[in-house]
Chains A and B, each alone.
Chain A
């Protein structure tokens, strides 16, 4: 930054009038995004807290309910999200190197992967709907406790598991949808050449958001899908 003449820095078209220079603007935006992610941690944290308590209390029922989730699709989704975080990083890198074409490609890939995640989630939820595992008046979970074929799973506890499952994955999916919307906008702007080596803050900060949503999934997946799986 020291290389660039101050006049250029202070007259970068992307500089907002209330900031002194681009560096201040960049740092402010970045800090803002990190703080926002801290609030998101607290938000998801409430649900994780409820989940951890009930799982501790009703472990066998939760294990039974968990094993009815599709582990293949869950794993696939995990892989999809991790790859999408990679493509996001590559897009930011491309912006740092001034490569507009690459940015567009990687952002498009990110979108595809994000939509794939949502699609797979849709498939999972549809099958849950068909199996009557959606909490509410139609809920019915027929199964026995793992290792105890003669003991049925407590319906209330199973419904608790699924209530938290849908609340948590639903909230996560909502954040993914918002992420997809943001990245669609970014794709458009990148295509227009808005992001340069001097200014690609929206890409970086949105990338942070995307990584965060990814990390939430990385916690959700083992907690929800991988209870006591001994296959």
Chain B
């Protein structure tokens, strides 16, 4: 049912002011969230386009679609764009920026102007990255290993390095804003134990962003200096050590994967209770597990280096620690499942994405156990097994969490409902396409197909074809939401304040919220996930 005419539209953050200047100079966290939404979507499709080209090339064993050097640039830029310009900002910069002040009952983040600066830094970094890609690109792999990146590659390593360096600042400032906001700007009565777990997840993520990102920043500085001035910090022919680079790189890049997954876990922890009409099972354990992941995540980086030439004893220690970090993630999966027990479950689109997340994250996480096992890792590291593992977590996990969150909070953000049946259809297409794309890659990896191969022995072809077929389905699944979200902004049903009957302060203000979030500052005297006392949603969701 489309409602084009809206009578007496209330003042909200979208219609309060019009004009491009009001957007580009805004300090409203909600508008900044939308600025981010546009930008990361743009980069998602760029990274996705590179992925499609990669998969098309891999349809045949021979290198026949693009040249080898081009292929090397494609996988490098796919990785860099997806990691630094999509995954790391995605949920925090879009959903986090939008929701953190709302969820804690504040008017805005602690530092609104720094929030805007954070977006501009992201844009500057993005423009630099685009320029780099358009004027030759970079072919070092997103991991930039030395001495290849510092002394052998003929591509634009310095420009790419600088772009990522700047994007890192964007990430740091977002994290800084969240930590201060959560500490200092909670509404009266909003104690730590009453915070939505989405907030706990973003708090943990922000700690990682603050402490980890500077290390990759300084590593990139050293790489850029080395390349420009022919120093020898990472070059063995000049007294340096290439393993030092790897340690410095992975010290950030491992915690970075937790930056990418923790927010998605936070999203799932909001969706599952809502569509089970039940409080989350084990609130304290879920909160603690987020913090544990952040802490332990800093202790396991060298599990990326088991065959790199580290000592046997280092390898043993990092393997053991890697198993420790798996425990808190397992706890979350069990708690989500237990939340559904004796609930009252609806199969809305967000809930379908949550199911998909739980399933795929479980599979991806379990394959992490394989990789942490030293004896197995020797065989499967640097193969498609690793690629499948991290795509299960990043795409099957983080991206599905992101999409689930976008659907869940879309009514709040836009004031409109998206079309529910299309939403469910897209979720299903994504799930099927995803599995077809990445499950064969586990087999390919164990068979021995290495990563970053432009051409491969013919016996690997069948599995590669399956994978490529899946990727085309996945692409359709991703395009659909973009189309119907845009459609809904004009033709979607007008959303009530709380279409899902969800808990959380953000649902107690209008959809979309007014510029200063609440007509009256809330005072909290109830626990989080108070579903006992929240009426069921106004309209039926299932079968809609």
B483: CB under 8 A from chain A? no
The segment out of B77-85, B102-110, B151-159, B467-475 that lies at the interface is B102-110
Give residues of chain A (41-66) contacting chain B, Cβ–Cβ below 8 Å: 42-47, 49-50, 53-54, 58
Closest chain A CB from B496 CB (angstroms): 27
Quick one: CB contact mask for A158-176 with B, threshold 8 Å, 1 for yes? 0110011001000100000
B233 with A24: CB separation less than 8 A: no
Complex Cα distance, B217 from A46, in Å, reads 9
B215: CB under 8 A from chain A? yes
- How many Cβ-Cβ contacts under 8 Å join chain A to chain B? 110
Residues of B within 8 A of A20 (CB): 521
B231 with A39: CB separation less than 8 A: no
Given A159-B239, A160-B238: A31 touches B214 (CB 8 Å cut-off): no
B343: CB under 8 A from chain A? no
B180 with A160: CB separation less than 8 A: no
The segment out of B222-230, B268-276, B320-328, B419-427 that lies at the interface is B222-230
Complex Cα distance, B230 from A163, in Å, reads 10
Given A24-B184, A163-B225: A39 touches B218 (CB 8 Å cut-off): no
The segment out of B41-49, B195-203, B205-213, B484-492 that lies at the interface is B205-213
Give residues of chain B (271-315) contacting chain A, Cβ–Cβ below 8 Å: none
B238 with A167: CB separation less than 8 A: no
Complex Cα distance, B110 from A17, in Å, reads 11
Main secondary structure of the interface of A (DSSP, over half): helix
A24 with B218: CB separation less than 8 A: no
Complex Cα distance, B108 from A135, in Å, reads 48
A31 with B184: CB separation less than 8 A: yes
B219: CB under 8 A from chain A? yes
B110 with A46: CB separation less than 8 A: no
Cβ-defined partner of B176 (8 Å) among A35, A53, A136: A35
A18 with B108: CB separation less than 8 A: yes
Residues of A within 8 A of B181 (CB): 28
Closest chain B CB from A13 CB (angstroms): 17
A200: CB under 8 A from chain B? no
Cβ-defined partner of A136 (8 Å) among B107, B112, B179, B229: B229
B478: CB under 8 A from chain A? no
B233 with A42: CB separation less than 8 A: no
Residues of B within 8 A of A24 (CB): 184-185
A156: CB under 8 A from chain B? yes
For the complex, count residues of B whose C-beta is within 8 A of A.
42
B232 with A160: CB separation less than 8 A: yes
A50 with B244: CB separation less than 8 A: yes
B21: CB under 8 A from chain A? no
Cβ-defined partner of A159 (8 Å) among B111, B218, B238: B238
A46 with B108: CB separation less than 8 A: no
A38: CB under 8 A from chain B? yes
Complex Cα distance, B248 from A42, in Å, reads 11
Main secondary structure of the interface of B (DSSP, over half): helix
A137: CB under 8 A from chain B? yes
A35 with B222: CB separation less than 8 A: no
Which of B110, B215, B225, B521 has the largest number of chain A CB atoms within 10 A?
B110
A18 with B106: CB separation less than 8 A: yes
For the complex, count residues of A whose C-beta is within 8 A of B.
38
A43 with B214: CB separation less than 8 A: yes
Complex Cα distance, B176 from A32, in Å, reads 7
A159 with B180: CB separation less than 8 A: no
B345: CB under 8 A from chain A? no
B239 with A156: CB separation less than 8 A: yes
A46 with B248: CB separation less than 8 A: yes
Closest chain A CB from B344 CB (angstroms): 38
Cβ-defined partner of B233 (8 Å) among A136, A164, A171: A164
B176 with A135: CB separation less than 8 A: no
Closest chain A CB from B295 CB (angstroms): 15
Residues of A within 8 A of B183 (CB): 28, 31
B88: CB under 8 A from chain A? no
Residues of A within 8 A of B180 (CB): 28, 31-32, 35
Complex Cα distance, B109 from A40, in Å, reads 22
Residues of B within 8 A of A185 (CB): none
A157: CB under 8 A from chain B? yes
A36: CB under 8 A from chain B? yes
Closest chain B CB from A153 CB (angstroms): 11
A18 with B211: CB separation less than 8 A: no
Cβ-defined partner of B112 (8 Å) among A18, A54, A137: A18
A39 with B185: CB separation less than 8 A: no
Given A35-B180, A154-B239: A47 touches B222 (CB 8 Å cut-off): yes
Given A47-B222, A53-B244: A38 touches B210 (CB 8 Å cut-off): yes
A156 with B176: CB separation less than 8 A: no
Complex Cα distance, B210 from A28, in Å, reads 16
A228: CB under 8 A from chain B? no
B136: CB under 8 A from chain A? no
Complex Cα distance, B219 from A47, in Å, reads 8
11 additional A-B pairs beyond A35-B210, A167-B222, beta carbons within 8 Å, are A31-B179, A32-B110, A35-B176, A39-B176, A39-B213, A40-B214, A45-B218, A46-B214, A137-B230, A154-B239, A160-B232
Some 26 contacts from A to B, beta carbons below 8 A apart, are: A16-B112, A18-B109, A18-B185, A19-B185, A27-B184, A28-B181, A28-B184, A28-B185, A32-B110, A32-B111, A32-B180, A42-B215, A43-B218, A45-B214, A45-B215, A46-B214, A46-B248, A47-B218, A50-B233, A136-B230, A137-B230, A156-B239, A157-B239, A163-B231, A167-B221, A171-B221
| 7 smallest beta-carbon distances between A and B, as pairs | A156-B239, A46-B218, A43-B214, A18-B108, A42-B214, A163-B231, A18-B107
